[in-house]
Structure 1
Amino acid sequence: MSSPQRSMIAKVDSALTRCLCVLIVWLISASIWLLGLLSLSDLTMRIFAYGEGWSDVSWAELSFMVIFAVLLWRHTYYCRYFAIGIWKGMGRLLAFQGTLACMGLVIAVFTVDVEQHLGASVGLLETGADPALELGELGFILLALYLAAPTSVAKRLSHSPVSNVESAHTTAEKEFTV
């Protein structure tokens, strides 16, 4: 039984829906990558906040930079080992940084909302720097960098055309062509 032919309006509607879905997915991915890039670029301003150079860096920030360098080396090593490529590896890194930054923003907004509804002061709106909060933020950046490293070879979603052509031949045809 054959399916009925779709009208031109249905085809245009389907194509428009598909285009809008691709556009929305692309915008979400670009926003997450941009948020990851902004969180990493904000890192230097956070560490060198007072403009005093290396004398401004605390022991916690110095150890963070060492661990960050080791985890960045681990990430690039695994990207080369699993043949991910530099751009996909960077995309993974920015996506994980952006996702954790987005989660942090959601938690901050939720905390401020609860603070305003209950009238209790959590202190999130204060402008003073909290060392525990800063260490937590640096820890989440290290966690995102640790999680961004690939752990296995990426699987392709579609079969290669060569395997489809080879499976179409019978055993006798394969022996004849060899």
Structure 2
Amino acid sequence: MMENPKLSLLGQADTGLARGVCGLLGGLKHLTLWLLGLTGLAGCFGLIFEYGEGLADISLHEWGFMLLLVALTWRHVHYSRRFGYGFWRGLARWLGAQGIVFGIGLIALGLIVWLSLEFLGHAKFLNELDLVGKEGDVQGLALALLAMYLGAPTRPRKAAHASPEATSIRREPTLSSSPDKEVSL
């Protein structure tokens, strides 16, 4: 295997700066997804308790949502433990999946608004859309459950650095100098 030549001081500063900026942007991406996920979950519970009457406010499909949410949360925790994710990594997957689904929903809503204003020239079409009806609530809750289902780990987490025992070393065959020893491979 050929080794990389040592970088100059300017090259090291350049690669370090690029690595730092990429790390910062990756962290901002994850933070944004987590905040979107929290916002989406808060919106789901805002839909459920919209009238402020406690348990009397909950309809049958909202009870179903909460029961499925508990079951999917248990599934997520079980798979996170099984596949070696810690609490924070499991929570990050959960919130990230919620954030992605909520972000896709916001983009779809923005496209609907943009297309209706662009091609119709007015917002009359938006008044005809029933975005606050029961079907919209069920769709929003179903998307949150879908994100919960898809956010669970499905395979063991990759180790950041492979252990020396895990890496295989190719050994070249050697010939022994004594005539009574065999050739080892």
- Shorter-chain TM-score tier: 0.7 to 0.9
**Structure 2 partner of 1:94:** 95
Shift of residue 104, structure 1, vs aligned partner: 0.7
**Structure 2 partner of 1:137:** 140
What is the alpha-carbon distance in structure 1 between the residues aligned to residue 20 and residue 46 of structure 2?
A: 39
Counterpart AA for 1:19: G
Deviation digits for residues 133-163 of structure 1, max 9, x if unmatched? 1111000000000111111212325321344
Deviation digits for residues 55-85 of structure 1, max 9, x if unmatched? 1111111111111111111111111222222
Runs of 5+ unmatched residues, structure 1: 171-178
Between structures 1 and 2, the one with greater helix share? 1
What is the alpha-carbon distance in structure 2 between the residues aligned to residue 6 and residue 159 of structure 1?
A: 25
Which of 134, 144, 149 is 1:146 aligned to? 149
User: Secondary structure in 1 aligned to 2:103?
Assistant: helix
Aligned length: 169
**Structure 1 partner of 2:71:** 70
Query: Which has the greater radius of gyration?
Result: 2
CA RMSD of aligned residues (A): 2.9
After superposition, the Cα gap between the structure-2 partners of 1:108 and 1:15, relative to the gap in structure 1 and judged at 3 Å, is: same
TM-score by length of 1: 0.82
Deviation digits for residues 1-33 of structure 1, max 9, x if unmatched? 997765433332222222111111110111101
After superposition, the Cα gap between the structure-2 partners of 1:14 and 1:85, relative to the gap in structure 1 and judged at 3 Å, is: closer
Deviation digits for residues 41-66 of structure 1, max 9, x if unmatched? 23222210111111111111111111
After superposition, the Cα gap between the structure-2 partners of 1:81 and 1:15, relative to the gap in structure 1 and judged at 3 Å, is: closer
Mapped contact 2:130–2:136 kept (Cα < 8 A) = no
**Structure 1 partner of 2:182:** none
What is the alpha-carbon distance in structure 2 between the residues aligned to residue 110 and residue 27 of structure 1?
A: 24
What is the alpha-carbon distance in structure 2 between the residues aligned to residue 2 and residue 150 of structure 1?
A: 36
Runs of 5+ unmatched residues, structure 2: 173-185
Counterpart AA for 1:117: E
TM-score by length of 2: 0.79
**Structure 2 partner of 1:32:** 33
